[in-house]
Amino acid sequence: MVTYIKLLLTAIFWGGTFVAGRSLAQNVGPFSAAFFRFAVASILLVFITWKVEGKLVLLKKGQILPVFLLGLTGVFCYNVFFFKGLKLIEAGRAAIIIANNPIFIALFSAVFFKEKLNALKISGIIISVFGAIIAISRGDVLEFLQGNLGLGEFYIFLCVVSWVVFSLLGKAVMSGLSPLVSVTYSSLTGTILLFMPAFREGLANCIYYSIYDWWNIFYLGFFGTVLGFVWFYEGINQIGPTKAGLFINFVPISAILLAFLVLSEPLTISLLIGTLLVTTGVYLTNRP
């Protein structure tokens, strides 16, 4: 029972990252926000890794480039686009777009790793993508087909691209490192890469951040990154990846509900229908 509660809380924490990110993006630049998020996460991850592994495993020569690429795609690119997008569009709509990560991972895994797509998975992909289109276009599918989309949606879509590349790189090149060690080094790499752009953006202005801004940074670093990761992988170890993965379907739902409660974002019919279709599609695509 404790494992299921932790997994549900993880989904809620991850849904909350869209709310915290939306709030933070209004006051803090994307590079600075991403840098502080992963500075917090990196310190905590190093501590946890040291405690769990007994030491911080040194990378082998052949692992340096893969870890660099993971930090570049999954931390640097993803989070810069994440904060740029959330400055422009609602947290709920962003969550629906990013909820399609598993869909595109499944598609590209089929292309590059020859993983089979059966009829159920293909149906899930179609349903999920259609749901995202409804949510993104606010129900006006013709507007989407005509390409009348904003810059915010484009940035969030680039988040999806970054995460897919990150996931496929991890699947293709990472070996000999535990998930915890891989994420720790990726986080450290991304933080280092973010420092100079954040410095040029005005990192020193952090002295003017509000208490609420610092809370959002801590939330994103601790609850949205470290605790979410640790609890999710605890869940995988306890009940297996299939059952644990089902809880990811609650992320867009929790994001939309939290955005409604905290940010007063409207619960539109197109958003609710899009959420239902996306979660259904993701479930079908990842069902064994």
Count of Cβ atoms closer than 10 Å to residue 151 Cβ: 12
Average confidence score pLDDT of the chain: 86
Between CA 189 and CA 174 the distance in angstroms is 15
**Per-residue confidence of the chain (288 residues) as pLDDT tens digits?**
788 899 889 989 999 999 999 999 999 999 999 999 999 999 999 999 998 888 888 888 888 888 899 999 999 999 999 999 999 999 988 988 888 888 888 888 777 777 777 888 888 888 888 887 787 777 666 665 555 568 888 999 999 999 888 888 876 666 677 888 888 999 999 999 999 999 999 999 999 999 999 999 999 999 999 998 888 888 877 877 667 767 787 888 889 999 999 999 888 888 888 888 888 887 887 776
Enumerate the domain spans of the chain: 2-286
Count of Cβ atoms closer than 10 Å to residue 178 Cβ: 14
pLDDT reported for residue 119? 84
Q: What is the DSSP letter of 89?
A: S
pTM for the model stands at 0.88
Between CA 267 and CA 258 the distance in angstroms is 11
pLDDT reported for residue 36? 97
User: Which residues neighbour 205 within 8 Å (Cβ) at sequence distance 6 or greater?
Assistant: 32
Distances 180 to 56, 99, 192 between C-alpha atoms, Å: 10, 23, 18
Instruction: Give me 49's structure tokens.
Output: 């890794």
* pLDDT tens for each residue of 200-229: 999 999 999 999 999 999 999 999 999 988
